[in-house]
Amino acid sequence: MKRKAVYAGTFDPITLGHIDLIERSRQLFDELVIAVTDNPSKAPFIPIEERISLIKETTKKLPNVSVKPFEGLLVDFVKKENSKIIVRGLREVTDFHAEFRQAIMNRKLAPEIETVFVMTNPKYFYISSSTVKEIALLGADVSGFVPKEVEAALKRKIKRK
């Protein structure tokens, strides 16, 4: 049986930390689905269609990775994908508290689904999508935080504003 995992997030925008986690996670599983969603408590900076396109572009050389949109409960999407594994990245202690609570809730909703935590590479632990957006909006260089395709997309988006 193939081990298929789902790594979900808003990826608004995808960062080098996300890419690192994707590259390392895909080595642990036969297949990795990157599930892209909107956070109902936040207005997206980059539309979901463009985020999916950017993620596909930055992961196109990774053979066992696919990118799909989803809405609703993550556990429902994971079941639909015939998976039993959710991958989550941990940067720091504050991530752990929120991710642990979410993993427990997912277990209550779907006991057959496991959450696997992957520690962020120390060189990326300070990077977050929120910080990248803020830095970009203030006109600073984000090339050290995001893939070049994402940097270009952010510049285009900010130029239009």
- Give the residue numbers annotated as catalytic, written as ranges: 18, 42, 91, 129
CA distance 102 to 8: 12
> Contact, 64 vs 157, CB < 8 A?
no
CA distance 119 to 42: 25
CA distance 143 to 117: 27
Q: What are the backbone angles phi and psi of residue 36, rounded to the nearest 5°?
A: -105, 130
CA distance 33 to 22: 9
Query: CB-based burial of residue 143 (10 Å sphere; 0-12 exposed, 13-18 middle, 19+ buried)?
Result: exposed
Q: Which residues of 13-22 are buried (b: 16+ CB within 10 A; e: fewer)?
A: bbbbbbbbbb
